[in-house]
Structure 1
Amino acid sequence: MVVVRDATETFTAQRPRLFGLAYRMLGSAHDAEDVVQDAWLRWSGHGDAVDNPAAWLTTVVTRLCLTRLDSARVRRETYVGPWLPEPILTTDPATGPAATVEERESVSLALLTTLERLTPPERAVYVLREAFGHSHAEVASVLDVTEAGSRQLHTRARRHLATAPAAPARTDVGPLLARFVAAARHGDVAGLESLLAADVTVWSDGGGKVSAARRPVHGRDAVARFLVGILGPSRWHGRGAAAEINGAPAVLAFLDDQLAGVMTVEAVGDEVRAVRILRNPDKLAFLADQLSRSAELSGRTP
């Protein structure tokens, strides 16, 4: 049993894992923070009577997320333009497990976007099983279903995800991303096209709050011209920086030292197959705070 004086310490030790769980469930760092805070309020009133803190907190956080997913689905149906998950700095230990390749892949923007295909229970089972390694017996307890029910939900989740475009094999896209950005910044349409797959797609998430494409942009020529149009020498006058975002290399864009955008790419071999650009300021707020904390710890300016 947890001693009262250790309740805060126990929760603090669990907090990164709980945030990681909530973020994978919701695709929103802001909502994940709120869920963890709600879990803390419940824990502070019951922690002294809990025999297994990790299991109890996992159950509370998962069920809070299930409630939020129902309302989030309604909000996303009216979202302006493509919806993308909120980006996070995965080198920040406060955001939960992301030390292994598998843990990084479980927070990739591609996977989190694809998880939107699942029902809330399917998503919960998938995340608990695939990202956190819980047994079906443990998942069944969290969701208050039978073990057979957990297996069925997991099977359905994997079946739904199998219909999505296959994610490319994980490769080091850092050098390709550098060439890609340089071509766009110099307005080199031909050079940029040489780096793009024929079926490349760009998703640009502005949420109706900043300028962004309201629909995905498809095809090598259209994508190259779109990217030069927003990143070329006549349009972009900010500065860029590199960071690991959602487990992969990314480019951060700053205007007047304020985070203004994040761009990530997926590649197959030496060709870019997908580009995701996040510009909605509400979705950049959490990452901006992470970058500020990271800069303070390292003593540098972001």
Structure 2
Amino acid sequence: MDSAAVDRFEAGRDRLASLAYRLLGSAADAEDAVQDTFLRWQATDRERIEVPEAWLTKVVTNLCLDRLRSAQARHERAAGDWLPEPLLDGDPMLGPADTFEQRESVSLAVLALMERLSPVERAAYVLREAFSYPHAEIAGILGITESASQQHVHRARGRVTAERRGRGEVDPASARRVVEEFLAAATSGRTERLVAMLTADATAISDGAGLARRLLRYRTRERIASYVRAGFKPTPAKRRLAGGSPAFHIALVNGSPAVLAVIEDRVVGAVAFEVSDGKVASLRGIAAPDRLARLDEAWRQHKPDAPVVAAW
């Protein structure tokens, strides 16, 4: 393949990766889909392709749909078994972020919510909301009618809107202050303060420090506060498990504030927060190394702020 063909593909790689990540919720799977797209680009008769961007978009989208429909993916993503992979702010895989809809479509909350959509609904929704494709082009990419594209987007948007009602955009600085206060309460043992800082319908999900076979879910403020307090309480056993005593940093992950546990520039855990009306509406705790690999790599190349908690 000549250098011009390689350059043309590379010029659109980040966009393809961002699309694949939104569809799959996994950076590793998105990278695989993009690489498979490149192999098909390499093998095809490119002289017959009138619009390379459209061709590449169709290929990567359908590769992702194949993945979502596979028996392995259905097993991995069964209810209670799967969390989206978090990405550090600035990662090109997060893609376009000019509108609220684009930013919302890559939030961990919406990526998890989209698991309830059918693969075609998910693809139509992402192509429309995050990439502003017209329905005629979505129909061509997915091999459906324009009317069907409109229906898929309408249904998907309705389900997402119903679940996200009242969750407007939050000022990042304000959200960070809430998380800083929440972390201070968690590390000081003020459980009653944690309860007061949670919304009435708050939820928490954890992979159990990467050890649980199924996700752990907490649905009352008292149980969430107890889980958070226990999680942030230092013990010799936790230090041995983590491989040292972590410092805690606050960073933006998928557009929302997160607490990162860092040992010698290695991210060993992340708790992503969703803030609503000055309170914490949800937490997602992730410590499985395979879910943190890309975030960890980005963190090593990142110049972080000073830790909020320097020694644990």
Contact 1:204 1:277 in 2 (8 A): yes
Q: Please tell me whether residue 198 in structure 1 is matched to residue 200 in structure 2.
A: yes
CA distance in 2, matches of 1:198, 1:212: 28
Indicate how the Cα distance of structure 1 residues 128 and 214 shifts in structure 2: closer, same or farther if over 3 A, else same. closer
* Structure 1 segments (4+ residues) deviating >6 Å: none
Q: 2:299 and 2:37 mapped to 1: Cα distance?
A: 25
Paired residue type of 2:289:
P
Q: 1:57–1:25: structure 2 CA closer, same or farther, 3 Å change rule? A: same
SS in 1 for 2:271: strand
Structure 1 residues 1-302: aligned runs within 5 Å: 4-46=2-44, 48-49=46-47, 50-71=49-70, 72-77=73-78, 81-93=80-92, 95-166=94-165, 168-172=167-171, 173-206=175-208, 209-210=210-211, 214-234=215-235, 237-294=245-302
Q: Percent identity?
A: 42
Structure 2 residue runs of 5 or longer lacking an equivalent are: 240-244, 307-312
Q: TM-score, normalised by structure 2?
A: 0.86
Q: Secondary structure at the match of 1:241?
A: strand
Compared CA separation, residues 158 and 249, structure 1 to 2 (3 A): same
Higher relative contact order (CA 8 A, sep 6+): 1
Is the 1:259–1:284 contact (alpha carbons within 8 Å) kept by the matching residues of 2?
yes
Going from structure 1 to structure 2, the CA distance change for 1:73 and 1:90 (only over 3 Å counts) comes to: farther
**Hey, what's the Cα distance between the residues in 2 that align with 1:85 and 1:279?**
12
Deviation at 1:214, TM superposition (A): 4.0
1:100 Cα deviation after fit: 4.6
Contact 1:22/1:65, CA 8 A, preserved across alignment = yes
- One-letter identity of the residue aligned with 1:217: Y
* Distance of 1:94 and 1:202 partners within structure 2: 25
Measure how far apart 1:48 and its partner are.
Answer: 3.3
Deviations 1:184-209 (A, max 9, x none): 01111122222112222111124x94
**TM-score normalized with structure 1 length:** 0.88
After superposition, what is the alpha-carbon deviation per residue over 1:53-92, rounded to whole angstroms, capped at 9, x for unaligned? 1111100000000000012223222x7x552100112312
CA distance in 2: counterparts of 1:283 and 1:266, whole angstroms: 19
Task: State the distance in 1 between where 2:228 and 2:166 align.
Answer: 22
Letter in 2 for 1:222: R
- 1-side partners of 2:99 and 2:162: how far apart? 26
Task: Tell me the CA shift for residue 101 of structure 1.
Answer: 3.9
- Residue aligned with 1:86, SS: coil
Q: Is residue 201–residue 275 contact of structure 1 (8 Å, CA) maintained in 2?
A: yes
Contact 2:265 2:299 in 1 (8 A): no
For residues 21-68 of structure 1, the C-alpha deviation after alignment (integer angstroms, 9 at most, x for no partner) is 000001111100000000111112237322211111100000000000
Between 86-95 and 129-138, the greater mean CA deviation after superposition: 86-95
| Structure 1 range deviating more: 240-249 or 24-33 | 240-249
Q: What is the deviation of 1:159?
A: 3.3
Matched residues in 2 for 1:175 and 1:212: separation? 33
Runs of 5+ consecutive residues of structure 1 not aligned to the other structure: none
Residues 237-285 of structure 1: CA distance to partner in whole angstroms, max 9, x if unpaired? 4111222211122111124543111112122212211111111211111
Structure 1 contact 4–48 (Cα < 8 Å) conserved: no
